[in-house]
Chains A and B, each alone.
Chain A
Amino acid sequence: MARRIRLAGTAAILVPAALLAAACSSSSSSTTSASTSTSAPASASASAAATPSIPAAPSSGTLTETGSSVMFPLVSEWQKGYTSAHPGIKISTASTNSGTGITDAGQGLVNIGASDAYLSATQKSDYPTLENIPTGVNAIEVVYNLPSLTAPLNLSGTVLAQIYDGKITTWNDPAIAKLNPGVTLPSTTIVTVHRADSSGSTVLFAQYLNAQDATDWPSSLVASTPTWPKTSGALAETGSGAMVTGAASKVGSIAYIGDSYSSKISAAKLSVAAVLNGAGKYTTATPAALTAAVNSFPPAPASGSESLINTSAAAGYAITGYEYADVNTTQSSTTQADLIQNFLYWAITTGSSPSYLGKVDFVALPTPTFNVAVNLINKITG
């Protein structure tokens, strides 16, 4: 009897959630903008068709998460929102790095491993039951510390690759000047800042450099811990927060940081560059640019693994990617599996409303990827 009531309660919770998801996804999909207001509930019921297998949250339980420092601010918000709706649930989150998220989730040390990068082939073969579930769309921003400049700089993948491999060493290099006509560049030495730990941000950034300039940034340098070419005075930092403070500590520095750190980036008086995309346009990581980027790619495959780098949409931002929750589909108990499923479904519906994603400048999943995510969530069992 009690179970029946709980089920009814869940249905009551899930229906508005599904509607909200449809609202979110319809706002982020560029095709058939507001043409059919009736088709949105239709697609909601299509995704709602999969929802009956999303179980209710157990009355008490603990959920553990570690990984991506880019995703950490969002997971902290989710923690607050979800636990206030489910007072019996405790969620522990940790800001480490994507590599830790993947391995800890794969080894069963935590329930959810957050990662900015999808699983590589080796990681898949190491952890066959680990699935990467898309939970949102984020961007990596290129920031620099040049207080003398006011207008944002334009930077391309080639110039960034040559900065990070040591070919360009000063800010007034002709290659940078060429991208920024009319800007008086200082002769300050460039200090490159990169992640010292196993980072999904590094993967996305390196994928972008490689996509734009495979000679200066060969595919052998696309990894979570690439062999950084030697540049004079380079800084290596652990975690996104340390990237901000590291870049702020040296005038002339350049760094790549997840857009969930935007407020900290501006508080540290760092500037954000406009980055060249695959269409030859310079854009910054606005929500509209992220949406344009994600919509320019084909729908995510069933595995959820898809690169959103170097978009061909003119308005799109070039260094974009899905944020992933890496979850082992075989959990210790049915109750634990129920909790994870319920939480993740909540995260991509209620937790993907603008009041959550707006704080970290992420955008919600487009409808096809949302459905992929729901299917992946459904795979989790006890």
Chain B
Amino acid sequence: MAVPALRRGGGAGSRPRRPGGTTSSLGRWLRGGGPIRAVGLAGAVVPGLVLIGLLVELIIKAIPAIGYSGLHFLTSSTWNFGSQYGTPVTTNGLVHAPGEEFGALPQILGTLATSAIALIIAVPVSLGAALLIAELPRRLAGIVGGFLELLAGVPSVLIGLWGALTLGPIVAAHVSPLIADTLGRVPGLTGFFGQSTGNGQGLFTSGLVLAVMVIPIIASTSRDLIRGVPVLTQEGAVALGMSDLECVRKVTLPWIASGILGAVVLGLGRALGETIAVAMVCGVALSSLPTNLYGAMITIAANIIQNLETAITDPLDISAFAELALALMVITLLTNVVATLLVRRVSGTALPVGRGL
């Protein structure tokens, strides 16, 4: 406070002001705009503070479990809530059930694998849908696009219910056997696509359910992006004798590539954190990796919701859950950072036609 006051009193322009003097310039900015700027600043700071607060809280809560499990957390496949009715033991000052073991590898891989399956299915479908909608007559496009947006608004628990009651049995009876009969017969792929096709609760169904939730996000964003491609450029491409496909491949898609990457990241974020729908169709296999595409599994988010009641009475279990939450947060933040870098790279190059037409 004293510094700006001194400066203010320090003679008119006798001393050159530092252009980057943050405190003073921030103070000046705040004073200049009246209370609305202060409110705005407070609003702008809150999200950052919440994120930092969340991280700090999770790290503090997770420290006992990190000390207890070490690298085991990332490498082991055994998750054991311990013997609840055994004599409690004390580790690092925490009283907990004996025999607890926190190997989160199946959950971490499950989180990544379901999201990967969802994107593998959702990206081509969404792009196809978006390209088609952009070409449709305006009224029809409005109807199809409207359905897309409605689908985006369906609560995830409804999609989970549909997945458990309708999609799961169909997958178990028809889709999985079909894949096992085709892809499963290709040498080298038998292990992952062949063998026991499961009961409709597992990795594949979870991926499908997530895909259903991700498609409207990617498709509606892509549709808006495609609409933003300048007509002149597309007409130019057609004038050069390009077919529809060539026009899409060489003009439309490169033009919107960075935007699509952004849309995919949005979808990925939804898929990574989706909880209840996956919990309803994943088969809840806490301590084993699925042997193939159809096996029961679990994701970090699904475990947290499915087993919170077990964990909550045991401080070390809760600490392990905090560590899980931290892992999920790191995964989400990492994918966001990587995506931002990718978007920057893509938007910096690969544009065959000049921007700003």
Residues on A lying within 8 angstroms of B by beta carbon are 96-97, 99-100, 102-103, 106, 120-123, 125-127, 191, 196-198, 203, 207, 219-228, 230, 232-236, 238, 249-250
Contact = CB atoms under 8 A, between A and B. Distances in A.
Contact of A126 (B86, B101, B313): B313
Contacts of A236: 201, 283-285, 296
A228 B286 CA distance: 8
Contacts of A225: 81, 286, 307, 310
A221 B82 CA distance: 8
Given A219-B83, A223-B83, A125 B309 contact: no
What class of interface size applies to chain B in its complex with A?
35 or more
Contacts of B101: 227
A171 to B, nearest CB: 17
Contacts of A223: 81-85, 97, 310
Contacts of A203: 84-85
The main secondary structure of chain B at its interface with chain A is loop
Contact of B306 (A125, A196, A226): A196
B198 interface: yes
B254 interface: no
A235 B199 contact: yes
Contacts of A227: 78-81, 101, 286-287
Contact of B313 (A106, A196, A238): A106
B85 A120 contact: yes
- Give the most central of A100, A127, A221, A226: most B CB within 10 Å: A226
Contacts of B99: 220
A100 B287 contact: no
Contacts of B85: 120-121, 203, 207, 219, 222-223
A145 to B, nearest CB: 13
Nearest to A219: B83
Nearest to A121: B88
Contacts of B82: 220, 223
- Give the most central of B288, B307, B312: most A CB within 10 Å: B312
B96 interface: yes
B14 interface: no
Nearest to B97: A122
A313 B78 CA distance: 38
A3 B86 CA distance: 49
A122 B286 CA distance: 22
Contacts of A221: 83
Contact of A125 (B86, B88, B98, B310): B88
B349 interface: no
Given A99-B310, A122-B95, 7 more contacts: A99-B309, A103-B312, A103-B313, A121-B85, A121-B87, A122-B314, A226-B81
A188 to B, nearest CB: 14
A233 B198 contact: yes
Nearest to B316: A122
B75 interface: no
A122 B288 contact: no
Shortest Cβ-Cβ A-B pairs, 6 listed = A99-B309, A236-B284, A198-B310, A196-B284, A198-B309, A225-B310
Contacts of A228: 286-287
Interface in B120-161: none
Given A103-B312, A223-B97, A224-B310, A235 B201 contact: yes
Nearest to B77: A230
B286 to A, nearest CB: 7
A97 B296 contact: no
A324 to B, nearest CB: 14
A219 B86 contact: yes
Interface string B84-123: 1111100000011111010000000000000000000000
A283 B314 CA distance: 36
A197 B308 CA distance: 9
